[in-house]
Amino acid sequence: MGKQKSIQQEKARKTIMSVVLAIICVIYMLPILTIFSNTFKNASAVKSDIFALPNSETFVGFDNYVTGMTAGSFPFWKAVIFNVIITVLSAALILLFCSMAAWYVARVNSFFCKIFYYLCVFSMVVPFQMVQFTLSKTADTLKLNTPWTIPVIYLGFGAGLAIFMFVGFAKSIPIEIEEAASIDGCGPVRTYFLVVLPMLKPTLISVGILEIMWVWNDYLLPSLVLDLAKYRNIPMHIQLTNTGSYGQMNLGAMMAMIFLSIVPIIIFYLICQKYIIKGVAAGAVKG
């Protein structure tokens, strides 16, 4: 009887926890659901009561989506392409160079490596506003103001978190594996790409997910660096296209574009979220 009662109590506890977590999930989903419902309302209805559901008077169908994608002289599909280019290149640079630097820091116990590591960690707490004005001037001088060169800037800003996570995991890799590869004739480059890089997979995936989510949704850095007449990413396009004279905004079209921009990254996150937990745990336990 005691064992059966314990099983029933455990089932009840799990049921209660499931209900509580479901409620929390709905609360976190409310902003997205609010944006989605407002994509089908006219601009005045969105402005007057943003939380109201569409009705027969405010419902406009898919007009907001059409307006958002066709408004302005800069096409929406072009902003999507630039956003993909910036995101993919930035994530690739961060993963490759930061993992290599972190492996070097983890294996070479020198004063320079320690200073370099602590500077990378310190960079995570430096507010972006402290460097944004000098960054804009430097980017123009070095011609880093295009979708193909701005990933270099993202590499600098994303290196802190990436190196911190990579160093923690690289220290947990047994050095005997690398020594065995060296005995078999592998140099540092081959050892990294054939031995170390595959073992860094959990952290590579988690860092990649975090960096992609950051770069995809970033508005401030591209707006400071890119030439607005030639290049725009999706957040810049949403802001500039749906803002009219005297600061008036087409809120319905803006909501539609915001929803289209967040759907891909939400799907991407839901697919890969389990790797974030594994990668963060792997990089934080040791070192």
CATH of residue 270: 1.10.3720.10
Give the pLDDT band (50/70/90) at residue 73: confident
The residue among 62, 77, 108 that closes a domain is: 62
Q: How far apart are the first and last CA of the chain?
A: 48
Question: 225-269: per-residue pLDDT in tens?
Answer: 988 888 889 998 888 876 665 557 778 888 899 999 988 888 888
Tell whether 254 and 265 lie within a shared domain.
yes
Stronger pLDDT, 273 or 161, i.e. the higher one: 161
The residue among 18, 38, 62 that closes a domain is: 62
Tell whether 139 and 276 lie within a shared domain.
yes
Report whether pLDDT(1) > 80: no
Looking at residue 202, its pLDDT comes to 82
Q: How large is the average pLDDT for residues 57-85?
A: 88
Gyration radius of the chain's alpha carbons: 24
Question: 181-229: per-residue pLDDT in tens?
Answer: 888 888 888 888 988 888 888 888 888 988 998 999 999 899 989 888 8
Tell how far CA 167 is from the center of its chain: 20
Q: Spell out where 59-118 has E strands.
A: none
The residue among 46, 62, 78 that closes a domain is: 62
Contact 260, 65 (CB under 8 A): yes
Structure tokens belonging to residue 211? 């960096």
The 3 state secondary structure assigned to 18-40 is HHHHHHHHHHHHHHHHHHHHHCC
Number of domains observed in the structure of the chain: 2
Structure tokens belonging to residue 14? 């799990």
Looking at residue 270, its pLDDT comes to 82
Distance between CA atoms of 213 and 275, rounded to whole angstroms?
14
Tell whether 74 and 28 lie within a shared domain.
no
Q: Tell me the residue range of the domain where 15 lies.
A: 2-62
Question: 100-133: per-residue pLDDT in tens?
Answer: 999 999 988 889 999 999 998 888 888 888 888 8
Looking at residue 286, its pLDDT comes to 46
Bridge partners, 249 (sequence order)? 243
Tell whether 56 and 83 lie within a shared domain.
no
**pTM here?**
0.84
